[in-house]
Chains A and B, each alone.
Chain A
Amino acid sequence: MFDISAEEWTAIELSLRVSVVATLVSTPIGIAVAWLLARRDFWGKALLDAVIHLPLVLPPVVTGYLLLLSFGRKGPVGGFLDQYFGIVFSFRWTGAALACGVMSFPLLVRPMRLSIEAIDKRLEQAAGTLGAAPWQVFLTVTLPLALPGILAGMIMGFAKALGEFGATITFVSNIPGETQTISSAIYSLIQTPEGDVAALRLVIISAILAVAALVASELFARRALRRIHGL
């Protein structure tokens, strides 16, 4: 039962790589977006908010197809990146990371935004009167106070990326060793005669990873509260 095959290891390793890269690339963008939504008023704010949440409500297959249309080799963005930077997404693990990044983005941004909103703006004002320029206020007050929320967002995003299936398989297919993550490996195994045991093994592994991420996220959220209360 617990004899994990080479292909299964490949899928696990690939899932982790895809999720780590998706999370690390999304994080700075997520912090910027969370800060904008929490602290600034600008034209089109509601639209930005809606676009970010779109992957949460659209069928994943639609998101995957839209990615294929725009980031595929013949798509406007994908073609440009391929021609000028040699970056290819379609049928590569990088494409899986892109799909996972987009799909997990709303879950990654949400705790970050909430933790920035929870910070008392008057502390930022006080920092200003003490001589801190706006960027210094961000680095010395906003960011450290939001840090537990930022970590919680990263973990939520990571957990979602690990489990992403629909958009990934639509965009980059299900190629063992390149784009076959745990989820798509389970999907293939279920359709294979006598693949049940292997599928169950991967199911257990993905459940363990997901629960671990949720527990870690909860711990960080608690630390966030303690930090903001100054104890």
Chain B
Amino acid sequence: MLDVDVTKQLGQLKLEVAFQSDSPVIGLFGPSGAGKSSIINMIAGLSKPDRGTIKIGSETVDDTAIGLHVPPHRRRIGYVFQDARLFPHRNVSQNLDYGRRMNKLAPDPAHFERILNLLDIGHLKTRRPGQLSGGERQRVALGRALLAKPRLLLMDEPLGALDQERKAEILPYFERLRDEEHVPMVYVSHDPDETRRLAGHVVMLKHGRIAAQGGPEILPP
């Protein structure tokens, strides 16, 4: 599903990673500063590798050898950021519908309702992002990404800004997403428990390199 082989110089840190996996959820795990977010930003197309290739499914989206770089808006990915990044000038409903409109997808009310039910955000439709709690905001951001029907969902510490209680509230939604919607995910986290619950394949990063990769059993307790 995902095939990454890239190097990139980030100030002092030289990022050099290669991994590929067909697992429904790939966990990028490691301490902060290990290069996790840089990798996910390259997969999203928000930054370019200095050298290397990135393949999503059968499509090559980056290949520095031939100067190929597909811009983010043509990658058909969904990205859930740590800070939800909802559009403040649009209400929840308009935020949710944004990706569908930009990708010129036909309205799909059944899908819309299913995602809203899955995330329990139906009652928030007319609210403004400024009126939502942190957990609600993150669920709406997740819904917004999903409703664009991405072929790969990128999540960069989506629970990082939430307290323990909120984390426990949201994690089950991610599991349902994995088990019911079957959207492939790349899940970035520095929390071994979160990663263990979600990921089928774990890439462990340290100082810009892969320290280990394999099943969730490689995670520290």
Contact = CB atoms under 8 A, between A and B. Distances in A.
Q: Do A and B belong to a common assembly?
A: yes
A231 B87 contact: no
A127 B148 CA distance: 11
Nearest to A132: B102
A127 B99 CA distance: 8
A136 B102 CA distance: 8
Contacts of A125: 46, 72, 85
A141 B87 contact: yes
A122 B72 contact: no
A128 interface: yes
A133 interface: yes
Interface in A101-144: 120, 122-123, 125-134, 136, 140-141, 144
Given A230-B130, A231-B130, A130 B98 contact: yes
B72 A129 contact: yes
B111 interface: no
A231 B128 contact: yes
Given A122-B83, A231-B131, A128 B88 contact: no
A228 interface: yes
Contact of B89 (A122, A132, A230): A230
B39 to A, nearest CB: 15
A145 interface: yes
B136 to A, nearest CB: 13
Interface stretch (B8-16, B49-57, B73-81): B73-81
B130 A126 contact: no
A141 B87 CA distance: 8
A134 to B, nearest CB: 8
A131 B128 contact: no
Contacts of B73: 128-134, 136
Nearest to A231: B130
B123 to A, nearest CB: 19
Contact of A229 (B45, B83, B88, B102): B88
A127 B81 CA distance: 12
Interface in A16-30: none
Contacts of B48: none
Interface of B: 44-46, 71-73, 75-79, 81, 83, 85-89, 98-99, 102-103, 128-131, 144-145, 148, 154
Given A131-B148, A140-B102, A227-B88, 17 more contacts: A120-B85, A122-B81, A123-B88, A125-B85, A126-B79, A130-B73, A130-B98, A130-B99, A130-B102, A131-B102, A131-B103, A132-B102, A140-B98, A145-B88, A230-B88, A230-B128, A231-B130
30 contacts: A122-B83, A122-B85, A125-B46, A125-B72, A125-B85, A126-B79, A126-B81, A128-B45, A128-B72, A129-B44, A129-B46, A129-B73, A129-B75, A130-B73, A130-B78, A130-B99, A130-B102, A130-B103, A130-B145, A131-B76, A131-B102, A132-B102, A136-B102, A144-B89, A145-B88, A227-B88, A227-B89, A229-B88, A230-B89, A230-B128
